[in-house]
Homo-oligomer: A and B are copies of this chain.
Amino acid sequence: MATKTRDKPETVDADSATRERILLEAARLFRHHGYAATTLREVADAAGIKAGSIYYHFESKDQILGEVLDKGILAVIDAVQQRVNALPAKATARQRVAAAIEGHLWGLLHHGDFTSANIRVYGQIPPAAKNRHRKIRREYADYWDRLLEDALQRGELRPDASTAIIRLFVIGALNWTVEWYNPQKGSFQDFVKQITSIVFDGTFLREPG
């Protein structure tokens, strides 16, 4: 029984300590400086090696980018599916979407450098890298669409907004939390509760009448 939800696409020696360190520091630097502005000398320096040594572990800067992007979105997808799959079969749509929100936030905020790097640089990377990454993004969007369509058919979702707009709005709002979430202000569980409540029921009280 494999503990992992997904197979690893990497080759056999793909997860040596320094290799992982390079990815981690690259994610952190991509996040804060952008892809183009991050130099391999900086990455190497942060990882405690010299620039030339990177090329023992990776073929190019582009390959590092690809793996950083994948790590980011896979962390989110994993956390979401784990929580949704753990629900009983008779769970309501609201419970399923709540589980997805919690998973999304957990994956997002607990792998901040990878997920933030993904979100921030995706719109700015070379087209080839974007094309390679597009498929997995599409699959994750489809997963949410199925969740929301199910909620709509069960009569739990608002019928007057399209599920596409709801998905884009909600995922966008969740993604943005990585820009402002502060773990020092209250517990993660409280945070999830507040965000979930706003997503479900909005920010204003219902109008009288």
Q: Which residues of A contact B (CB under 8 A)?
A: 31-37, 94, 97, 120-121, 123-124, 151, 155-158, 160-162, 165-166, 168-170, 172-173, 175-177, 179-180, 194-195, 197-207
Contacts and interface: CB of A to CB of B under 8 A. Distances in A.
B202 A202 contact: yes
Given A37-B124, A158-B203, A165-B194, A180 B172 contact: yes
A169 B170 CA distance: 10
A125 to B, nearest CB: 9
A127 B194 CA distance: 32
**Chain A's interface: helix, strand, loop or mixed, by majority?**
helix
B36 A157 contact: no
A162 B203 CA distance: 10
Q: Which of A37, A157, A195 gathers most chain B CB within 10 Å?
A: A37
